[in-house]
């Protein structure tokens, strides 16, 4: 789960942080809860499982028959414990003789005939039934959605396989599998490994047998069955297959067609060929994650099947998700973290492999852009700051966080930069070869890279992996004309406490003068230090950490002219992006805006132009509007124009902007730009907004992108006459995405209407997770305290996943703030956090901003690998 939530920058960073990061990220993106931080001590080695499953669709039940081949690891064991939750165990045999067994809330305990010895082998067969709350999900047509294709799919990580198979359910054991699935004859199935056979099973059923002969952990077992379209491809003689829910097969090539090229790149870079017998990717509806890297058979959300007409508007398509899950096939599946505390060995690497693909396929600028954004995002998530990447005290808060993903990926990038490409990949090859088919901890990685490169990495791992934080720096320089010398002052300003220490890192300073540019390697290690460099004449540009290869934040004291020069002349995107941000802080300064406007128009990197558009919007300055309007008038790439339309939504009081946005909102060559314009006119409350939005709701577009944008914008617009229209689109039977947009907007309108509150409450118990989520937030937004009992009963309901609880609690807190709610002010923060200002209009502006932010985030969340709680069955 990549955590690719690139939060738009805002003047109200603290506010965003509190609300968006705490409330949303906690709720959406940290749900990979793992109960056991440390690996278990094992009594037995589970070597092979034969897993035969049938399904009772009407009851949403699984009927299972598993046979585990087990080898005993210690003397005197007389009972075997399997993880098993809510499964009704019918019978158990040990070596084909009936065995005594008992069950607890989360275990199946099977007695052995007598105390066993190390190396003794047993075959344990278990017949069972269950109606899984988690682990296995049934997505079937029903009266409201009669045409949806049937799908059954599993999601094992972190510890959910035990909800549909009684097994050893922790990563520190590996087994081969044979999966035998009996399903309706018209269905197809996907599981780990090779397909051995498909046989008629009578009664309109067929039995599919899959065999995985490369061992992996139980959380990587996958079971998918249903009505799917299939597309076949290959890489190096290995089958590469893609599956879409029936009827959407035409979306596979454009979104997934680059997979073989990725497999080729990763195999070459890592020096270890793709290690499994096949690679399939199956896209399923209502998936509880963005993507899941099951061994040889990834499952992804079907929202990654973007309609072809729309997918061309995304510069990097779905490649982030696809390369992430593919990267896991080496890091996570072939070599698996031994315990959840070392999950960064899975997620940090998968995040790094995304970057490897982006850089290779889309070029260095795109790689630099993603890395620069990732660093900014990580620094914005304040709750990650004082936590080390490797830690074992995570419990409820989860470990699938921005440290495991974003910072983990960044640390690997830094390691590559410090060691050099060849040595770094030599180290990874050694790590993969030594640990192939094993479970690893961070020390195994450090040791392997040291062995391969003869470089001591203790300090590197100590500060970046076992320590917390990252350097925050204050930089300034003075030029001495007489000595022809430049003195650069470097100060580490972050608080040294807890796990956060002073940082030591090598970096490069580049000084550009009229005579040319010179680079100087330095090592920063002290609290404060002055570095002296020769310089022929006063510098035109001083770059610290040229190219941005260290995860850091820096305040570099430079004048406007220097920033402008840097924006025009720095060769690397990161240095130009820093200049855009610095110039943006000057707000209404014409020269600064002009420089950013030029960058928006002509910079060679799309990413930099996107940053320029965002930054112009964030100034909120009417003087910035003309640059954004010029971009909208151009024939530019949709990825830039849509950001310009979005940015204009932050600039109030410019009539030409309002009219241009309305015209784009009605019609444009780019759907995403049109959608952004719809949002912006809602936000600016332009004169014609309601009519334009109403028409957009009625219009059809790829993936309903315009309807969804308009439904959301109607909430932001705040005109109560939208209520009947929103109610129609919130109703059961409408497409889920349109429903969630409409429900969220209903939260913002007719806040005194108790009947409307009741109507939103009725959606709290729906099967579809995203609808429940939208309803919870909508109720919080309304400020109608009459919703508290409904939220509390949801909170106390037995089937509630722990992951949802913090979010519901946050909304209840919001509703309990008495003064704020009646007047519709404030109280927007999660967990009772209040906005900075008590001024009503400024608070409302912030709320508007948050509404948009939440929507942008939830759009992004769909394409990332999040682990969400299950829908209520």
Where on the chain is the footprint of Zn ion (CB under 5 A)? 347, 350, 865
Nearer to Zn ion among residue 350 and residue 390 (C-beta)? 350
Show the DSSP H helices in 685-831 as ranges: 689-698, 705-717, 723-730, 736-746, 754-761, 769-782, 788-796, 805-816, 818-822
State the nearest-atom distance from the C-beta of 574 to Zn ion, in Å: 25
Residue 172: phi and psi, rounded to 5, are -80, 35
State the nearest-atom distance from the C-beta of 126 to Zn ion, in Å: 30
Comparing every residue's Cβ against Zn ion, the nearest one is 350
State the nearest-atom distance from the C-beta of 403 to Zn ion, in Å: 14
Nearer to Zn ion among residue 165 and residue 353 (C-beta)? 353
State the nearest-atom distance from the C-beta of 346 to Zn ion, in Å: 6
Starting from the edge strand earliest in sequence, which strands make up the sheet with 472-480, in order?
A: 528-534, 485-492, 472-480, 553-556
State the nearest-atom distance from the C-beta of 327 to Zn ion, in Å: 8
Q: Of 142, 28, 130, 40, which Cα lies nearest the Cα of 81?
A: 40
Nearer to Zn ion among residue 331 and residue 563 (C-beta)? 331
817 burial (CB, 10 Å; 0-12 / 13-18 / 19+) is middle
The two beta strands, 205-216 and 136-139, are unpaired
State the nearest-atom distance from the C-beta of 477 to Zn ion, in Å: 41
State the nearest-atom distance from the C-beta of 263 to Zn ion, in Å: 17
State the nearest-atom distance from the C-beta of 302 to Zn ion, in Å: 18
Nearer to Zn ion among residue 324 and residue 391 (C-beta)? 324
**For residue 293, what is the DSSP state?**
-
Nearer to Zn ion among residue 295 and residue 701 (C-beta)? 295
Nearer to Zn ion among residue 327 and residue 870 (C-beta)? 327
Spatial contact of 790 and 779, defined as CB atoms under 8 Å apart: yes
Spatial contact of 664 and 673, defined as CB atoms under 8 Å apart: yes
State the nearest-atom distance from the C-beta of 192 to Zn ion, in Å: 17
Nearer to Zn ion among residue 347 and residue 578 (C-beta)? 347
Nearer to Zn ion among residue 709 and residue 864 (C-beta)? 864
The shares of helix, strand and coil residues in the chain, as percent rounded to the nearest 5, are 45, 25, 35
Nearer to Zn ion among residue 2 and residue 609 (C-beta)? 2
State the nearest-atom distance from the C-beta of 153 to Zn ion, in Å: 17
SS (H, E, C) 821-840: HHCCCCCCCHHHCCCCCCCH
Whole-number Å distance between alpha carbons of 121 and 69: 7
Which position has the token pair 């972190």? 158
Nearer to Zn ion among residue 294 and residue 716 (C-beta)? 294
State the nearest-atom distance from the C-beta of 404 to Zn ion, in Å: 9
Nearer to Zn ion among residue 322 and residue 746 (C-beta)? 322
Q: Of 399, 418, 302, 296, which Cα lies nearest the Cα of 346?
A: 399
State the nearest-atom distance from the C-beta of 465 to Zn ion, in Å: 18
Whole-number Å distance between alpha carbons of 140 and 529: 65
Name the strand (E) or helix (H) holding 560. helix 560-569
Beta carbons within 10 angstroms of residue 816's beta carbon? 13
Name the strand (E) or helix (H) holding 80. strand 77-83
Starting from the edge strand earliest in sequence, which strands make up the sheet with 541-544, in order?
A: 516-524, 505-513, 541-544
State the nearest-atom distance from the C-beta of 343 to Zn ion, in Å: 9
Spatial contact of 242 and 231, defined as CB atoms under 8 Å apart: yes
Look at phi and psi of residue 477 and say left if phi exceeds 0, alpha if psi is from -120 to 50, else beta.
Answer: beta
Nearer to Zn ion among residue 94 and residue 399 (C-beta)? 399
Nearer to Zn ion among residue 304 and residue 833 (C-beta)? 304
Spatial contact of 457 and 431, defined as CB atoms under 8 Å apart: no
CA distance readout (Å), 486 to 366, 519, 537, 539, 579: 33, 13, 9, 8, 21
């Amino acid at each position: 789960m990549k955590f690719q939530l690139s939060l738009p920058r805002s003047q109200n960073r603290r506010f965003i942080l509190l609300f968006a990061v705490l409330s949303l990220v906690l709720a959406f993106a940290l749900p990979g809860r793992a109960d056991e931080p440390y690996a278990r001590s094992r009594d037995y080695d589970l070597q092979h499982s034969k897993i035969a499953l049938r399904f009772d669709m009407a009851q949403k039940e699984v009927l299972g028959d598993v046979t585990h081949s087990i080898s005993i690891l210690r003397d005197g064991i007389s009972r075997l414990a399997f993880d098993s939750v809510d499964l009704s165990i019918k019978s158990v045999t040990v070596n084909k003789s009936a065995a005594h067994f008992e069950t607890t809330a989360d275990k199946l305990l099977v007695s052995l005939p007598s105390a066993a010895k190390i190396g003794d082998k047993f075959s344990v067969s278990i017949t069972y039934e269950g109606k899984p709350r988690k682990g296995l999900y049934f997505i079937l047509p029903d009266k409201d959605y009669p045409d949806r294709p049937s799908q059954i799919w599993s999601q094992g990580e972190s510890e959910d396989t035990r909800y549909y198979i009684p097994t050893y359910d922790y990563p520190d054991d590996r087994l081969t599998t044979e999966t035998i699935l009996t399903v309706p004859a018209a269905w197809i199935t996907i599981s780990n490994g090779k397909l051995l056979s498909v046989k008629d099973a009578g009664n309109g059923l067929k039995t599919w047998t899959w065999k995985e002969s490369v061992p992996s952990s139980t959380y990587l077992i996958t079971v998918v069955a249903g009505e799917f379209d299939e597309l076949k491809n290959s890489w190096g003689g290995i089958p590469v297959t893609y599956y879409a829910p029936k009827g959407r097969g035409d979306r596979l090539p454009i979104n997934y067609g680059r997979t073989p090229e990725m497999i080729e790149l990763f195999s070459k870079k890592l020096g270890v060929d793709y290690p499994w017998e096949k690679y399939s990717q199956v896209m399923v509806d209502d998936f509880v994650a963005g993507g899941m890297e099951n061994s040889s058979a990834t499952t992804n959300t079907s929202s990654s099947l973007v309609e072809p007409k729309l997918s061309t508007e995304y510069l990097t398509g779905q490649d982030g998700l696809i390369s992430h899950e593919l990267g896991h096939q080496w890091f996570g599946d072939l070599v698996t973290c031994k315990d959840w505390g070392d999950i960064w060995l899975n997620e940090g690497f998968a995040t790094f492999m995304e970057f490897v693909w982006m850089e290779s396929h889309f070029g260095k600028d795109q790689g630099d852009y993603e890395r620069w954004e990732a660093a900014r995002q990580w620094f914005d998530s304040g709750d990650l700051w004082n936590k080390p990447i490797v830690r074992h005290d995570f419990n409820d808060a989860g470990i699938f966080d921005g440290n495991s993903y974003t910072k983990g990926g960044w640390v690997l990038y830094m390691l590559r930069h410090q060691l050099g490409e060849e040595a770094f990949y030599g180290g990874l090859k050694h790590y993969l070869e030594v640990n192939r088919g094993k479970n690893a901890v961070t020390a195994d990685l450090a040791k392997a890279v040291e062995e391969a490169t003869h470089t001591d990495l203790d300090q590197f791992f100590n500060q970046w992996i076992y320590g917390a934080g990252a350097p925050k720096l204050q930089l300034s320089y003075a030029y001495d004309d007489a000595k022809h010398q430049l003195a650069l002052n470097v100060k580490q300003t972050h608080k040294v406490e807890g796990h956060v220490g002073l940082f030591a890192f090598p970096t490069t300073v580049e000084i550009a003068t009229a005579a040319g540019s010179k680079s100087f390697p330095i090592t920063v290690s002290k609290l404060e230090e002055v570095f002296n460099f020769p310089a022929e004449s006063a510098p035109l540009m001083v770059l610290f950490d040229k190219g941005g290869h260290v995860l850091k934040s820096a305040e570099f004291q430079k004048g406007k002219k220097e920033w402008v020069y840097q924006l025009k002349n720095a060769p690397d995107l990161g240095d130009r992006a820093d200049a855009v941000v610095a110039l943006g802080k000057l707000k209404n300064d014409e020269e600064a805006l002009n420089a950013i406007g030029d960058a928006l128009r002509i910079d060679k990197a799309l990413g930099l132009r996107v940053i320029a558009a965002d930054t112009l919007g964030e100034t909120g300055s009417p003087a910035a509007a003309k640059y954004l309007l010029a971009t909208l008038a151009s024939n530019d790439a949709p990825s830039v124009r849509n950001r310009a339309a979005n940015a204009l939504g932050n600039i109030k009081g410019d009539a030409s902007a309002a009219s241009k946005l309305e015209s784009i909102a009605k019609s444009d060559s780019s759907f995403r730009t049109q959608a952004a314009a719809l949002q912006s006119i809602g936000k600016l409350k332009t004169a014609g907004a309601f009519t334009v939005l109403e028409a957009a709701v009625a219009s059809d577009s790829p993936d309903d992108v315009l309807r969804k944008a308009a439904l959301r914008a109607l909430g932001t617009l705040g005109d109560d006459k939208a209520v009947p229209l929103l109610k129609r689109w919130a109703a059961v039977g409408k497409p889920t995405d349109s429903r969630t947009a409409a429900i969220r907007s209903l939260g913002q309108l007719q806040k005194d209407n108790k009947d409307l509150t009741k109507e939103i409450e009725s959606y709290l118990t729906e099967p579809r997770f995203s609808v429940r989520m939208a309803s919870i937030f909508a109720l919080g937004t309304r400020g109608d305290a009459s919703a508290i009992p409904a939220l509390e009963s949801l909170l106390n309901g037995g089937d509630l996943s722990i992951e949802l609880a913090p979010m519901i609690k946050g909304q209840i807190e919001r509703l309990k703030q008495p003064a704020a709610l009646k007047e519709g002010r404030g109280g927007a923060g999660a967990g009772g956090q209040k906005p900075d200002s008590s001024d009503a209009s400024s608070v409302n502006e912030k709320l508007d901003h948050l509404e948009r932010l939440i929507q942008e985030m939830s759009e992004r969340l769909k394409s990332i690998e999040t682990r969400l709680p299950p829908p209520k069955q």
